[in-house]
Amino acid sequence: MLILRSVLTDLLAHAVEEAPRECCGLLVGTAGSIVRSVRARNLEKGTTRYTVDPKDHFHAIRAARVEGLDVIGAYHSHPSSAASPSPTDITEAGSGADFVYVIVSVVNADVRAFRIDAGRFEPVPLSPQP
């Protein structure tokens, strides 16, 4: 999956800014590339969960359509753990195998992508682009 370096930079910055809470947002692009991230409000008050504000989600969908793009995924951070899906991430994933989940670890500034379907996850290699 191609991803613009500017998107990676924004994901990491968002994660650091929101720590110790989890940040969250949406990923805009096409089936093979992520061209933009959209920060969203995390409706959860704690530090170990996230819920994307539905208003932010609908706004991202509308804006992407204007550009001829789609919301192809979501991202969130793990402020104190690795960029791997937690049991909660896997259980709550519900958008199907085409949806990309990106996890940002604040601990080691690592960004990883996954597709999660039916309780299984598969790593998706990210290829940064200028």
Q: Which domains does the chain have, with CATH numbers?
A: 2-129 (3.40.140.10)
d(CA 59, CA 81): 30
Q: What pLDDT does 95 receive?
A: 59
Q: What is the pLDDT along the chain (130 residues), one digit of tens a residue?
A: 999 999 999 999 999 999 999 999 999 999 899 999 999 999 999 899 999 999 999 999 999 999 999 999 999 999 999 999 988 888 887 756 789 999 999 999 999 999 976 667 889 999 999 9
pTM of the full predicted structure? 0.94
d(CA 1, CA 13): 21
Residue type, 38: V
CB 107 within 8 A of CB 56: no
Q: What pLDDT does 63 receive?
A: 97
Q: What pLDDT does 125 receive?
A: 96
d(CA 100, CA 34): 10
Q: What pLDDT does 94 receive?
A: 72
d(CA 18, CA 49): 12
